Structure 1
């Protein structure tokens, strides 16, 4: 169709970055929500070239959902946006299906027109139940409440930075056609740090990094990873809710850029056997009045007693939380010690097979790194579980806890069983949400061969929570 008569918002990447960094700074400074709401509504009203607002939210498994609202409608009806919760896996039953979306105006993004379409902006939504409270199945809201509670009570800011690995494969929708093709085709076989300028993987990484930069990610470095056709694009840390939002946007951007290039960005933890899998190493720290509470130049490995106590609680709950951090059948292929897998329930400064690593740091960067997280996990659930466990969980009376001979489950069935039995997961999520999450994982697992074997099976891809659709789910 001709664009001759259209005049929709299209900003340069430089303008986008400036606007998004300003919005990010408001979040960081905790500007009052009412002030930001008034500012955003005025902007939407005054900016005539915006046609639609994309509102995004995540389901219980971490799958991102997107709804486009006409700009004029949203400005008038932002406080009464309803949707059918029974259509979202893990949300309400059909008999109690009505849920509302509130707008988190601080989580507002200006998006590149060449990637998301002209005339659009994006904002994160908050799922509200019929009583007007945060919906218990919306873990983003649960995480946000916990983060606010820690700040209001203790003055603590919870920080996170995630290193998210993925694969780039030939063809659009390569995952959804895997049950027919039985294989993934690499676009590059160079390996770690090796990708020549102009090859498909390098072009994908460069384009994705440009989009992230424009959306205020504050990039740090990017490179091909160890496995063929594998990538990692790093950006700076942020407060815990912003960090989780950026994980969702990172994967969305990667998938969209790959699709426009005729390829597929995959975040399956182990799409190809025989090579390294993909992880989402999760770095966490806590600050108060700008001071890093995990830093102690005189402490063991130069981290504080608070950081070690935090680590000990994570190790104690290692098997309880394994299903949260490794959320699919395919994830248990990654927990293989032959490929640098972090499957040992240990803490170490050097051993990359340990579940928790203590990286070299300084007063600014000192942190704890949880390495056992898969890139397909629900980021809100992961970060909530890590911080609440690290701050409020129990510490096991196990001799030499940090180096004990203990391992994470090597299959999803054991992980589901551990999750269901653990009192701590009930404390984290409540029995209702805990049961729904475990049932979702069980339903996918039951459609797959019980033994992993040496080749990736079609069902573990087809019924994966990031891949399936109604049509694929019905092909059983």
Structure 2
């Protein structure tokens, strides 16, 4: 899209407000609304905002920053303000500092830097996400509860699946916004759902993930429900992940595919996978970035705990789906939907590129159920575990220079600071489990 088209489209569709969107370092969507009269100025990159108000951006004395919209992200939102015939559009923005240089603390810029590195080698990264979420009832005040809106399980149909109407509304809303939905279904846990959309280039996919989260929560609210992407809201049932299907293309060809190989996987695919496995423990801090993320990454719920790969087995970190040809890809299974998608894709790509550049070899595929192996067997096979908690993951990140390089010094330092504060806050609290276990015993 270009400036003239956007201005014309906004006028034809009676767009009165435009949300200029971007994420903070933690992946939380932020927005500044402008009127249509300011749209041309925004498209020219002349609008400024106070960056010191955003998590992990800059200090007060460095606060002036520019929002520069990506014209290709222009989208008219499929809901309007009550009692108004006008429409609202959105533009996802890149952030520039007061010297008109790309801001090092912008997560979107972090991904763009690694994509540029890949492009210099001739590669384009494509990603297909599988985000999961829960829908809960709200109380009389509109406050979310932990009461799921059904007791259904994997692939169940109505009337057991009572979330189908809301999920269908979400799919239709997403389709009206240009999403190509591939599948939508009830997941394993009560009140849990999954909506998958077609793979796109990495920037488009990251933009789509942050948009997806807004759409799902907005539509759920219309149905009197609360949708959450919290990885593990309820103990004892499956948590919500966001598996990422990743491939690299060069000159229009999927370089992960080799028809002459017995398993159809190219050397480049193996090298890429080896790089991701090598840096998996540090990557985990970015792709599973909350205290709650590690309540999901435990044995028994099909969430990966062990750093290994396989063709069919779903217990390792990476699975190779059966499709070959243009659909050859790796499926990374530990990310969850609280992940900042720009940073998550940046660190995955950086690790994979290192694998390709250095021709790293992955270990042998593991087709046995790793959950059933004892520690000695896992050690014998060289199978290590992902971090057990956020503190351990952040420590791994602090030792991994390559993943730090993907983030950049600004994002790395502020991300670690925010996550250590989160861990310290969590660790110092007293929880119901402790009261139940210790109050009367000691």
Tell me the TM-score normalized by structure 2: 0.87
Give me the whole-angstrom Cα distance separating, in 2, the residues matched to 1:155 and 1:452.
52
Alignment of 1:264-303 (within 5 A): 264-299=226-261, 301-303=263-265
Cα distance, 1:214–1:173 mapped onto 2, change above 3 Å:
farther
1:160 paired to 2:138? no
Correspondence 1:404-419 to 2 at 5 A: 404-419=382-397
Q: Distance in 2 between matches of 1:123 and 1:94?
A: 26
Q: 1:172, 1:263 within 8 Å by CA — same for their partners in 2?
A: no
In the alignment, is residue 449 of structure 1 matched against residue 427 of structure 2?
A: yes
In the TM superposition, what is the alpha-carbon distance from 1:364 to its structure 2 partner? 1.8
CA separation in 2, counterparts of 1:318 and 1:450? Answer: 28
For residue 448 of structure 1, give the secondary structure of its aligned residue in structure 2. helix
Cα separation, 2, equivalents of 1:300 and 1:372: 27
SS at match of 1:278: coil
Give 1:289-368 correspondences, 5 Å limit. 289-299=251-261, 301-368=263-330
State the 1:142 CA deviation.
2.3
Structure 1's unaligned 5+ residue stretches are: 1-22, 24-35, 458-476
- Taking the aligned partners of 1:130 and 1:402, their CA distance within structure 2 comes to 50
Distance 1:278 1:103 in 2: 32
Residue 439 (str. 1) matches residue 405 (str. 2):
no
1:142 matched to 2:122? The reply is no
- Partners of 1:271 and 1:456 within 8 A in 2: no
How far 1:331 sits from its partner (Å)? 0.2
SS state at 2:74 partner:
strand
Q: CA deviation at 1:348?
A: 0.8
Q: 1:43 Cα deviation (Å)?
A: 3.3
- Aligned twin of 1:169: 136
How has the CA–CA distance of structure 1 residues 453 and 290 changed in structure 2, closer, same or farther, with 3 Å as cutoff? farther
Q: TM-score, normalised by structure 1?
A: 0.81
- Deviation, 1:139, is 1.4
Partner of 1:206: 168
Structure 1, 442-451 or 225-234: larger mean CA deviation: 442-451
SS state at 1:159 partner: strand
Question: 2:158 and 2:430 mapped to 1: Cα distance?
Answer: 35
Q: Which residue of 1 is the match for residue 400 of structure 2?
A: 422
The equivalent position to 2:97 in structure 1, one of 95, 108, 129, is 129
Q: Which residue of 1 aligns with 2:372?
A: none
Q: Secondary structure at the match of 2:134?
A: strand
The RMSD of aligned alpha carbons is 2.7
Match of residue 338 from structure 2: 376
Which segments of 5 or more consecutive residues in structure 2 lack a partner in the other structure?
367-381, 436-442
Paired with 1:399 and 1:262, the residues of 2 have a C-alpha distance of 48
When residues 173 and 366 of structure 1 are mapped into structure 2, their CA distance, relative to the original with a 3 A threshold, is farther
